[in-house]
Structure formats: C-alpha cells, structure tokens
C-alpha cells in the first residue's frame, strides 16, 4: 500500500466515524424533545438498549416502578427487564438476529398521543389497523428533559 492510499483510507475512516457520531448526536438530541418524534426516537433507543445490553441507558430510562404486562397477564418488573438485557448483551449477535426475525415476521405501525408530560405509544398491525390490531402500548413520562418508561401492555394480536 502506498502512503497516499493509507492516508486516503485513514481519512475515509475518520469521515465514516464522524458521520456515525453526528447521527448519534442527532438521535440523542431528538430524544430530549417533548414531541412524538422524540418519544419514538427514545423508544427505538430502548429497543437497541435491550438488544445490546445497554443497562446504563435502561437504568436511567426505566422508572423505578416500571412494569410490563405480557399478553398472558404476567407482570415483568424493571429488575427483570434489566437482567434480560444483561443476557442479551452477552450474545448480541443472537439477540439482534432474534429481534430482526421477529420484526420481519410481525410488522407494525406506530401511533403516538401526547397529553401534557405523558406519551402513549401504540404499536399495531398495519393489516388490521389501529382499531383492531393493537399489539402493545408504552406509556412514557417526560421528566428532567427526557422521556422515561412507566408502563407497557402487550396483546397477542398478530
């Protein structure tokens, strides 16, 4: 490799890293907005955090009394969700593959309603629509300049 080729490769790597950094900064800035887009961006960060074991984010994001109720009525606590994220973080390749396969098999659309400092994100079947095909809902609270999760409810709609 010539010196010029090495310099070009290094410059390209810096540009790619800067582009990723700018995208991450833009996403993080959106998460601090009390808007539907901000709530959705935060929810997407939540999904990545669970998949990749980002317990630092989850610890700040999930309120102490956070609960998730599954389609079977079983309640999952904040502590259980954090423990699950730790397991996913130990094998991110498998966790990402599982999430990708699930989302491909179960497409969804999103609807957001904001009242005051509360956002309700509803995920529904694009085939059945939001009236008959509700898959899950997350309730987020906007506190200290960020969205935080309080509650999630899931159904068995496919």
Q: What is the CATH number of the domain that holds 131?
A: 3.10.450.50
Judgement on whether residues 92 and 106 belong to the same structural domain of the protein: yes
Q: Are strands 118-124 and 134-143 parallel, antiparallel or unpaired?
A: antiparallel
pTM for the model stands at 0.76
At 105 the pLDDT is 78
Q: Which two tokens stand for residue 21?
A: 């950094």
At 55 the pLDDT is 96
Q: Which two tokens stand for residue 128?
A: 């059945």
Judgement on whether residues 95 and 124 belong to the same structural domain of the protein: yes
| Angle of CA points 39, 48, 55, to nearest 5° | 100
> How many Cβ atoms from other residues are within 10 Å of residue 132's Cβ?
10
Residues 6+ apart with CB under 8 A from 148: 60, 61, 62, 63, 140, 141, 142
Judgement on whether residues 13 and 55 belong to the same structural domain of the protein: no
At 94 the pLDDT is 82
Judgement on whether residues 12 and 75 belong to the same structural domain of the protein: no
Judgement on whether residues 43 and 18 belong to the same structural domain of the protein: no
Judgement on whether residues 91 and 133 belong to the same structural domain of the protein: yes
Judgement on whether residues 44 and 17 belong to the same structural domain of the protein: no
Kindly give the parts of the chain with pLDDT less than 50. Answer: 7-8, 11-12, 15, 19-22
Judgement on whether residues 25 and 88 belong to the same structural domain of the protein: no
At 28 the pLDDT is 65
At 15 the pLDDT is 45
Judgement on whether residues 99 and 55 belong to the same structural domain of the protein: yes
When divided into structural domains, the chain yields a total of 2
Judgement on whether residues 26 and 80 belong to the same structural domain of the protein: no
Judgement on whether residues 72 and 131 belong to the same structural domain of the protein: yes
Judgement on whether residues 14 and 59 belong to the same structural domain of the protein: no
Range of the domain at 11: 1-31
């Amino acid at each position: 490799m010539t010196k010029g080729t090495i310099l070009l490769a290094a410059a390209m790597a810096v540009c790619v890293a800067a582009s990723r950094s700018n995208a991450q900064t833009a996403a993080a800035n959106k998460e601090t907005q009390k808007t539907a887009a901000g709530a959705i961006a935060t929810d997407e960060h939540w999904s990545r955090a669970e998949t990749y074991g980002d317990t630092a984010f989850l610890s700040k994001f999930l309120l102490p009394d956070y609960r998730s109720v599954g389609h079977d009525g079983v309640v999952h606590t904040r502590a259980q969700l954090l423990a699950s994220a730790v397991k996913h973080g130990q094998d991110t390749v498998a966790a990402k593959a599982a999430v990708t396969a699930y989302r491909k098999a179960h497409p969804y659309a999103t609807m957001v309603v904001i009242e005051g400092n509360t956002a309700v994100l509803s995920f529904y079947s694009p085939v059945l629509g939001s009236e008959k095909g509700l898959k899950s809902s997350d309730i987020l609270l906007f506190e200290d300049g960020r969205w935080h999760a309080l509650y999630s409810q899931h159904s068995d709609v496919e």
